[in-house]
Structure 1
Amino acid sequence: MFKSLFTPKWKHQDAKVRQEALAALDADQDVSIISQMAISDESAEIRRRALAKISDSKVLQSILLQAGNPADWCQVASHLAGLQAENIDALTVQFNNKKSTWDEQAVSNAITKCDNSALAESLLLSSDDPQILLQAATSAKSIELRLSIVDKLDDLKSLQQLQKKASHKQVIQAVREKLKGIRAKQQHIDDTLQQADKICQNLSKLANQTWDTQFTTKVQLLTQQWQALDGEIIDDKPLSGKRVDNYNEALTACQATIDSMQEEARQAALVQEAQAKQSELCEQLESLIEEIKSERLESCQSLREGLTLLDKNWQQIITEVDASPQMKGRFSGLRETLQGHLAVWEKFESLTPNFIELTEQQADMVSFGDLEKWQKQWTNLEKKLHWPEELAIPSGLEIWRKQAKELQHKLHQLEAEQKKKASQLHRKIRTLENHIRQRNLIAANKLSNYINFELKELVGDFLTSVTRKLENLEPDLNELRDWHAFATTPKKESLCSAMEKLSENSLDPLVLAEKVHELQEQWRELISSDAAADQALWDKFKQAADKAYQPCLVYYAEQDQVKADNLKQKIAICERLEKQIADLRNSISNNEKVEQSHSSEEVAESAKTATETTSQSIDWKSLDKNFRDLTKEWQQYDPVPNNERKTIQKRFNKSFNGLKGLIHSEKQANLDERVELVAKAEKLVSLEDNRKAIEISKHLQQEWKNLGITFFKADREQWHQFRKAIDQIFAQRDEQKQAFKNELKSSEQKIKSLTTQIRSLSELEDSELNQKLEEFDSLRQQWDKQIELPRNSAKKLINEFEKACQHFRDRYSGIGERQLKKRLKAIKDGALLLQQAEETLLEKQAVDITFIEEQLAQLPIDEKGKRVLEPRLQHLKTAINDNEFSENISGVTELEKLALEAEILSETESPESFKNERMALQLQRLQEGLTSRLSQDELNQELHKMFYQWASYGFIQSAARTIINQRFDKIFTRIDL
């Protein structure tokens, strides 16, 4: 117990002291100190001595876990294995778990120096270090251990080194078999990895390509190919590592593209559906707004319900898919418009009682004051309502407005009449004042009587203002009358004498009538002051006037007859015009009835024909020319009786204007049709089908020619526009023709280029051709059979393109067969090369085996061919090395039998000396049921097997081999060798 009070000797700096202290320690009582020394003592010898004193396996296991290097670990493990041999496997596993943390060279030295041979062998066999295994395979005493190590070795380089260093025949043979297996396995691995790399490469390339309709199918095909490879065993495990990561990465990218496109398609469908619904709601809003604008509503209840329903549907739709800003703006704008219309309707309904009350007051409106008051109330109510012009007016409001308009018109008319009358009378009063000032009593009396008569039509302020001015002039007018009556009597007597003298003179009737008229006018001027006071003088004047006027009556009677004749001519002209107008109107009316009585397109066309016929039956051109001469004809028949002049002129004017209106209507209708034809022609400019546009334009030109009279200037303007549109249509035709020619030329160049490129691909070697299928598919798909080509060369171009495609397909599909023939030919050439060497050796001549190997290495022989020729080559090398060889007598018999079977199978004629044997073999095959005819593929497979057997036989005597080869040459012709 006092050993720990002072620094113990086993911890002394001197190794000898520590060694003596170790020897003094008790193995049972001081096991912890001994264990510590075995682990941490600086001296390797002391550690070894301490370890030797421990016999407890648990303690040894604890020490083993604390070993810091492979040498110490192997030393502890050797001691533990010596105590418990059954723990060697467990120790081997433990060593393998720890050796990765140690230096490889230290591990190799530790295993080599391990004291326990069983443990060393176990550690050696479990080691993956090629150098350790290689050293043991060449130096181990046990042949079984060497062979076990050979089985353990999988490294090609190590096996090749071992093949060079090994001296034991069994080891050499085992190494050769192992190398052969490794090469075959490596070739299989390389082929598999190459195919896997190609799949990854194609999948990566596909991931970087844009989406097309074959994308998913291509991904599935590559995935199936990978899954078929995934079961392949490479390095004792399925495909893994970077290739799997590359595959998964490319597959994930492809799947992401597929998912993205599917999701994009789904989202696009949802968005499109939602946008369609949103657009439909907007269209419903627009329809509702247009309905409000064009149709009268009785109330706004349906409008309010429609808006509520549209709002509800809109909120539901945008919850599913949010609307675009443009769509939101459109809906919001339409809704605001509809909401504004609804607000106007609601205001109208609230003001309806006011409108009703105001319109009921119209019956009591008589005076200006009442009418003006009502007008002001109506104006304020309309301003308050402010009904938009774009909305359809409610029927009630329209009626009220119509009534208000009538009342307003009445008010304005009455006010205008009063104002006009008052203004006129004011001017008359000013004229009256001038007459009084100028002492013109006649004019003053007339004007005064007129003013007093017109005053009856004035009311209100207008009457008051006029009356006041008239009363101011009354004193002056009365004074003028008194002075005029005093001065006119002598003048009247003078006029009577003058009239009596006229009857005594023989004057021209017209001059006489004029003189009588002048005296009468003077008399009327004189009697203007007081006509009743001069009755006696008037009777005398009247009698003299009648007597003087008697010669004029005869003259006027003659003039009346001329006027009556002129009147008859004018009446005839009016009757002719009226009949002409009636006939024209009947023709036009019948035409309109025909148009209205037809509805179908076919009957409508008949109606159009009837209309054209009717229109053509009226000679509008002659009618227009005669109309221009009508005024001159009318003026020829003047004068007419005065009492009939206004009536007949009015009748003529009515007929004249009626005919003028019909001609104008016809001209306007024809002008409208010309405008419509221009509009149709201008629309044809934007029509995509130019051929159809040209065909229609020809009909339009014919219609233009068939149109009747119209206004000259307007006709010229429309004709220039029509001609411009027609010219544009024909210009487009020319452009399209040129564009079509250019397109045909481009299509021709394209298919020629594609044909050339495909032909170039077909001429490639098989190694390159095998990689060009995708490029061929891409080139072939670039040509669309719907594309038009020049008619004279289309068939030839398409045939050349199809021939090029078929030539590539034939070349591509024949790659496998050509490669097989190439490999078979290489095997044949190799077999003949070995045959030549074997025959040379049989002739006791030297053979350069290195040259043979070099020649074989240059031939493209596949693995199967190598498995066939390799034994012959090894046999040849062995024979050369051992200088021991002999002719293969049995091989001749076997090859002859093989040739006979192949001749029977391929139905090739056998040599005459083998006829009996062939018959016997055929009989045997017949008995065994082997005479069924093989398919071409089965026949080729059997011949290929026989070819490999032929190539495997060596050391056949030259003469026998030549005969056999001649027989096989005929047979191999079946497989093109």
Structure 2
Amino acid sequence: MLSSLFKPAWQSGSVEKRLRAISSMDGSSVEKQEILAQLATEDVEASVQIAAINKLTSAVRLHELTLNSANDSVRLKAENRLNEVLGENSSLSDQDYRELISRFPELKVRIAAQATTAAIRAEVLQNIPTEQLLEVLELTIYSDSRQQIAERVSAIEMLESARKTLRGKDKTAERVIKAKIDEIRKVARQNAENLNTVEKLIDEVEYLASHDWLSEFKAKLLAHRNHWDNLQFEVNEKLRQRYKVAREIIDSRYEEQKVIEETHHSQDQVVDEIEVFLKRSANMDLAGSIDGLKESLERQKQFGARWQELSVKARPTLIKDELVDKMLRALQSASELLTEARGVLQPEVVSEQTETGSSKETSDISKVEKASQKLNSVLKKLKWPSDFGEFKSKTELLLQLTNWKNAQKASAVEYQERLDSVHKKIGSIFHFSRTGNLMRAKQFYERTEKRLHQFNEKDCSKLEERLAEAHEALDKMGDWKNFATEPKYLELCDAMELLGKSKHHPDKLSKEIKDLQKSWKMLGHSDISDQYWPRFKEAADKVYQPCAEFFDKRHKTRKDNLQQRQQIVDQLRELLKNTDWDNSPDYKAVQSSLRSLGEKFSKIKEVEHGPGQKQWKVYSTLKDDVYEKLNVAYEANIVLKQELIKQVIVLAEGTARQENLASLKILQTRWKQVGVTRRNADQKAWKEFKKQGDLVYSNVQQLRQGERDEIDLQLNAYRNIVKEIKQLAKTAKDLSEADQQFVVLQEKYENLPELPDQLPEKLVEGIQRDYQHACDLFDNSHSRIINSMHNRQIEMLRKKAILCVQLEALGEAASEQELQEITQQWDAIELHDSALSRRIEKRKRSAQTSLDRKQISAQRRLLCIQLEITKGVESPAEDKNLRMQYQLDQMNELGLGHQTSDSKEQLEMMELDWLCMPGAEAEQQKILDERFQRVLQKK
């Protein structure tokens, strides 16, 4: 009794005392570690076990707890503590790790993932099975281990899973995996391309071998030969044999076709030779054609014989045969023309020339016309197609016939022109005689008389008759001259007197008076002119009187205007004299005054010409003197503006920068501060300055727009991938295809260039947040697809379980038809999960065998009780004792603190066991099924 009073606190019956004792223990003591191991293993209170586990440092003891503890919380805590002991804060040596692996091989994954020394991790990873590498990858935090795993994994499925695990954790290992995935896919794509290339070549050569030969087959066959012979990879024997069979067929056809093509080539050569000879014949002159007529006939005969020979070897095309026949007939027709023309064209006829204007002009007309008729008859027989071009010999024959006719026509036209010219000159004699120009009339008479001998007798007689009449008119003209001038003097006097009644302006009236006086003088002096002069002068003086009064008044006005303009000249002189040009005068005020005086001076225009010109010279001199002073300022200021233009050009042609706008504003302000300049120069300079300034502004705007567009392009690239991932999450149905598309989108996202630093931090964070959200959506979609597929498999399992019930109900007495119907329904149900399929197939096979159905009923009843305990549902009265006995057995086996959880996974496992378990007794199966399903579906 006394010994029980003084036992250690860790052995106390009080839970709190045991916990305090554990808390005060020194974990580094070997003795204390034994006590802690005992408490962790044997204590009945889970909290004490957990407290002891927290101080345990023995990996062996901790692992034994994970294997043997019946309490889930204790086992979980032991696993976590084991991870800590093995992991980052571990004090284990390399030898300790090796001993653990030797004793507990199942710890290889944990040690490979969590060992603190790289050598141990590498050693374990080197010997660990490949299928466990992904488990290590999910657990480890060490980069070198991840990279080693990445180097070892080679299967594409494992690489995809490894990449998904490493996403965002280890870029180096992820790059290694990505490179291996890319290489595998590259090799697969290359193999697929190679196979596609071979099959395509075989299909095409088989197509050539199975069809009648066409002209385009030759190029295809040669291309296929070259392609096949230059393949850089091995082709399997079956495909090679297929190609060989088709190749032998097409090669045989090729040789046959080669002979035909050579014959066709020879036919083409003959056609070309005939065409060359035809063109040469067409372009040969008449004399050469007649001289070579014999040779031409011989060549035509050779062409015909050769063509006939080749046509026997290989039938020419219809078009080519017709062309040869057409060319030979044209050559034959041309030869016939030249043969007949040679007899018609005698040398004296061909070389006959006509002497224009001689008496011989008409002597040979009948001879030439006769030859022309003969040649026309021969030319009509010529059969020379127009598409063969011009037949030069025919053209020369036609030209020979038309030359004489054209010469005769030209001679007749020239003769008529000479005759018309003489008649026109005789008409001029009559004209000048009537107008009183006797000297001019006599000159034309003499010239005409000398040219009469050039014409024939008939025309000459008519010309002499007209010339005699012209001479008679010339003689009469001298007598009528005096008689004719008196009416003109009277006409001038009447016209001057009539001006006195005119209302014309004095300037116009004065001019009309001068014109009449000039006409009077032109008539010359005579007795008749002296008689009428006093009348003419008196009328002129009277008409000029109002003009004189007008001119006096205008003179006075011009004199006044001259005085006003003189005042402006004096003001301009004072401006020049009084302005202090040496001390920076107000050039703008001077310029304004100069312009104002110039406008006033220009408005006063009516002045006398002489004094006005003199005054204008003085004004211009003073104005030039003022502008000479202003020019100094103009030149200096325009130089300043030109310098500003150069500076803005530098901005415009240089690299566009944001600060260029500030520089441009400074230059614009300085431009406004520059003084006066010449108007034209200033406008020209301003246009250039504004043009360059607009370029600067446009360049900066383009820079800004380009930066905005580039940033928008980058942002849109990120956003588009996020949208595609979200869309994929919405629409994904096929798991494999969705995963493949998701990996591609992740690669695209990772390979995007970094966003600019000047972007707002919130914007960048928002994009990253959207990307993570999209990935989460896809993960949810991925889980949804997996769950959906799993649920469909469970549903298919339920359907097959129903068929099993039907089979079990039929028993061994089932008919063949009933079995066949159930088999058909069974085969129509697609169950792809191999494990479930094996289990349900096992139940199906047991349906037609003799089993202890009573024992199976007991097993199903016990499974119902387990489900009812898990769901917290009361069992039927007849099974209460069985339920209590089961619970007592569980407490004895697992301990008092063990509790059954109703997790979804556990419930699903119970349902799978229920569905795959052989059927119970016929009368119990339905009852137990309804009982199980009722409890399973209860919330």
Query: TM-score, normalization: structure 1?
Result: 0.29
Query: TM-score, normalization: structure 2?
Result: 0.30
Could you say which structure has the greater relative contact order, defined with CA pairs below 8 angstroms and 6 or more residues apart? 2
